[in-house]
Structure 1
Amino acid sequence: MKILILGAGQVGSSVAAALASENSDITVVDVDVGRLRDLAERLDLRTVVGHASLPSVLGHAGAEDADLVIAVTSSDEVNLIACQVCDTVFKTPTKIARLREMEYLQHPELIHRGRSSVDVAISPEALVCQHVQRLIEYPGALQVLDFADGRAQLVAVRAVLGGALVGHQIKELRAHLPVGVDARVAAIFRAGAPILPQGNTVIEVDDEVFFLADRRNIRTVMAELRRQEKPVKRIFIAGGGNIGRSLAKTLEAQFSVKILERSRERAKSIAEDLTNSIVLVGDCADEDLLREENIDQTDVYCALTNDDEANILSAMLAKRMGCPRVISLINRPAYAELVEGGSIDIAVSPQQVTLGALLTYIRQGTMVRVHSLRRGMAEAIEAVAVGDRRTSKVIGRGIEELELPPAATIGGLVRGEKLLIAHHDVIVEPNDHVIVFLMDKRQLPQVEALFRADATWI
């Protein structure tokens, strides 16, 4: 597959790194020679220097025979024009554009597969807002991901001392759960390294445990791995940018929300837009201001400014002053790895959240949903079983019969409205949504081949 990535910023670089090991022919375009040089030194790809919206640059980059264009420059307008040029001049089949301005997204005629120059629009701000909202709704969760339109959810939690299952084998989970509730531990990360869970695997303190369950049972399963968390009522948001503003607007009907913005003019604009939130003007690292606003009585502190250092420092300050749970937006992966799990409970990486959405459209065949886990170390994939027993390698076969690569495991499958946890006697049927966890992305081609229907396969 030939992929053209426009923009070598944080998102573009993350996408290039994620795809470089998957036998794709990748070309990256950017005006910054230094960024391109760094990418070329780290990854096996081609780079082109120039403005991403110019036909001459796109032609030189190979837009004419590209299968997919991903426009993720820092300018919405450049992304839109680049997709227009690729569509009208080079007839590129699929065009994905990152758009930050909500007004563009509110006009569907600009984004419509087959009827406009942009087939898919990705909004990092909207994705991050949704991601943080889920973390607030499920106290104690590190990641909450949807499959099959939300009928099943994958949740990551950190196992803590006092959790009912900590120190016990995974196979004991079913005995702890109420009748009618089922779940599957799909992945474990211990000291940053992935562990493929077996029935006799013992859950240890500080393990990052990913489990799959029906969305109605998530809190029940979480209680087995963590002490019961008190419900969230009060939220403090530092940063009134697009993400902070959208999050406050989403949450204010359900929670008591305060939002802090440094700019007085922007704070005034935010106050006019919100109906039930308190808008403050000031510095998120001002200890006196946080104390006056009773940060120790706040349930969740969200540092969502566009400055990594400010987010880290203010989140650490809020934690030290008594806020039980702090979430920080951090763009630099090295920073996120350094601080998460210490004084900062959750480090949210915009490029990793965006990467999962992009991978969903990049993966070929029956892969309908892809989530990036643990900053790209692993993936959770939703694949649809298509064909019949003659043409498919999975349909009509039990979970234990499937020829999965060593680093892959099946967590469950969604059939209609019901999630079936992947026990050995579950038989895959046509149109089942199968949820696969892959710990080594080098084995992705084997997973793709397993779910690919072939008229000649018997």
Structure 2
Amino acid sequence: MKIIILGAGQVGASVAEGLVSEENDITVVDQDPARLAQLQDRLDLRTVVGDAATPTVLRSAGAEDADMVIAVTQSDQANLVACKLGQSVFNIPTRIARLRSRDFLEDESLLASDNFAVDFALCPEQVITDYIRRLIEFPRALQVLNFARGRVCLVAVRAYEGGLLVGKPIKAMREHLPPEIDARIAAIFRDNQPVFPEGDTVVKAGDEVFLLAAAENIHPVLNQLRRQTARVERIMIAGGGNIGLRLAKSLEERYEVKLIEGRRPRAELLANELNDTLVLYGDATDEDLLEQENIAEMDLFLAMTNDDEDNIMAGSLAKRLGCKRVVALVNRRAYAEMIEGGPIDIGISPAQVSIGTLLAYVRQGDVAEVHSLRRGAAEALEIVAHGDRNTSKVVGRRIDEVQWPKGVTVAALVRNFEQPIVVGQTDDWTAITRYGEVVIAHHDTVIEPGDHVIIFCTRKKLVKKVEKLFQVGFHFV
């Protein structure tokens, strides 16, 4: 596929890295020659220096025979103009735009083909907000991801000394769960290296364990396997930019929220925009300010400024002063890997968090969901199975019959989305109903047509091999 990426910032570079390894013909456009040169040194792609919202530059990038344009510059206006030019001048079939403004995102008619002609709108700030909200619901999780329309949940946790599974084989997990609940350890990372999870694999303290279960079961499973943790009630946010504002708005009704902003005009604007959030004008790295605002009583500190160093400093200070848990936004992947597990509990790379929804759309076909794991080193994907035993390498076969690439784990299947499943009761008369049957994968589980198969790939390069396995043909026997 011939793809033009407009913008070589964090999101654009991550998208290019995610797609260039899949044998796509990639061209990246940006106004910064140094940034493009750095990208070209790392990846096998073409670059063009210029304004992405002009026909001349788009033509130089190969727009006349491109299959897709992905406009992820810092400017909403430039992204929208590029998509419109891609449709009206160059007839590019698929057009994707990164948008920050609520005005464009909330009025879908503006993105229709007779207006700005955007097929898919990506808002990284909203994706990150949703991601952090899920982390808040699981106080000790490193990562929380949903699959199959929310029917399945994947949670990454750190195995701790004295935990029920530490020092025991994975198959012992069954002993700690009620008979009606099933779960699966989809992957283990030990010292940053993948450990293939088999029944006899022993979990060690410090392992990063990816645990998967039906959404209604994930809390009971974690409660069985980890020490109980108090729920989050008090949250402090450092940084009142787009992400900080979105977070505060989404959290203030359920939690006690304080937000620190270092620019007075912005702080005043935030105070007017937010209803139940206490907005503080000041520096989040000011020890006196944090102590004055009772940082030691906070359950969670979210460092969400635009500056990596400020986030690291503010987060480290908050932890030293007694805050229970610290999450920091860190754009540089090397920083995120270096700081996580120290005073900062979780380092979030915005580009890596938001890229999954975009990759799922770009790959299209039968890939319903893609999640980047461990800052892009691994991926979890949800892929739909089609065909039958004669036309597919996976359908109609037991999981242990399929020749999966080394490093690939089939974790679960979801089938029959039209079928209501009772998953609990709110009271004696009211049932909680979900749609779709969750099947935790075991070696003898048979993949059926239409199943949404959730697969864990310990290396990103394995994704293409998995997709090929699911292709339907007429020569399989």
TM-score (norm 1): 0.97
| Equivalent in the alignment of 2:86 | 86
Q: Given the alignment of the two structures, is residue 454 of structure 1 paired with residue 473 of structure 2, yes or no?
A: yes
**CA deviation profile, 1:351-383 (whole Å, cap 9, x unmatched):** 001211211112242111111111111110100
Quote the Cα distance in structure 2 between the aligned partners of 1:224 and 1:6: 47
Aligned pairs for 1:110-125 within 5 A:
110-112=110-112, 116-125=116-125
Q: Which residue of 1 aligns with 2:14?
A: 14
Deviation string, structure 1 residues 329-367 (Cα, Å, up to 9, x no partner): 111111111101111000111000121121111224211
The residue number in structure 2 matching 1:148 is 148
Cα deviation, 1:93-117, whole Å, max 9, x if unaligned, reads 1111111122211110123479851
Q: How does 1:35-74 map to 2 (within 5 A)?
A: 35-74=35-74
What's the secondary structure of 2:155's corresponding residue?
A: strand
Contact 1:183 1:212 (C-alpha < 8 Å) held by counterparts: yes
What's the counterpart of residue 426 of structure 1?
445
Contact 2:171 2:200 in 1 (8 A): yes
1:271-290 mapped onto 2 (5 Å cutoff): 271-290=271-290
Give the C-alpha shift of residue 445 in structure 1. 2.6
Contact in 1 for aligned 2:186/2:411 (Cα 8 Å): yes
Q: Residue 161 of structure 2 aligns with which residue?
A: 161
Deviates more, 1:435-444 or 1:60-69: 435-444
Q: Distance in 2 between matches of 1:354 and 1:362?
A: 13
Whether the 8 Å CA contact 2:160–2:206 is kept in 1: the answer is yes
Listed one character per residue, the Cα deviations across residues 249-289 of structure 1 (whole Å, up to 9, x for unaligned) are: 11111111111111222222222222222111111011111
Deviation at 1:225, TM superposition (A): 4.3
What letter matches 1:125 in structure 2?
A: E
Query: 1:415-442, CA deviations, whole angstroms, 9 ceiling, x for partnerless residues?
Result: 1322110012222122110001112233
Residue pair 1:4, 1:27 contacting (<8 A) in 2 also = yes
2:459 match: 440
CA-to-aligned-CA distance 1:386-438 (integer Å, 9 cap, x gap): 22333222222111112211121100101132211001222212211000111
Quote the Cα distance in structure 2 between the aligned partners of 1:271 and 1:52: 36
* Helix, strand or coil at the partner of 2:278: strand
Q: Are the equivalent residues in 1 in contact too, given 2:84–2:115 (CA < 8 A)? A: no
Of stretches 98-107 and 218-227 in structure 1, the one that deviates more from structure 2 is 218-227
Given that 1:177 and 1:221 are in contact with CA atoms closer than 8 Å, whether structure 2 keeps it comes out as yes
Task: Evaluate the alpha carbon distance shift between residue 392 and residue 66 of structure 1 in structure 2; reply closer, same or farther with a 3 A threshold.
Answer: same
Q: Match of 2:340?
A: 340
The TM-score normalised by the length of structure 2 is 0.93
Q: Does 1:215 align with 2:234?
A: no
Cα distance per residue 1:37-73 (max 9 Å; x no partner): 1111111111111111111111111112111111111
Separation in 1, partners of 2:292, 2:476: 69
CA distance in 2, matches of 1:325, 1:177: 28
CA distance in 2, matches of 1:115, 1:217: 44
8 Å CA contact retained: 2:357, 2:371? yes
- CA deviations 1:153-195 (Å, max 9, x no partner) are 1111111112211111111111111221111111111111122
Mark the runs of 5 or more structure 2 residues left unpaired by the alignment: 418-435
Counterpart of 1:448 in structure 2: which amino acid? E
How well do the aligned residues superpose, as a CA RMSD in angstroms? 1.5
1:376 to 2:376 alignment: yes
1:411 corresponding residue in structure 2 = 411
Which residue identity is paired with 1:435? I
How far apart in 1 are the matches of 2:133 and 2:371?
Answer: 17
Task: Give the equivalent residue in structure 1 for 2:426.
Answer: none
Q: Is the 8 A contact 2:80 2:116 kept in 1?
A: no
339-348 or 446-455, larger mean C-alpha shift: 446-455
Question: Which residues of structure 1 form unaligned runs of 5+?
Answer: none
Match of 1:326 in 2: 326
Match of 2:293 in 1: 293
Which stretch of the first structure deviates more once superposed, 310-319 or 59-68? Answer: 59-68
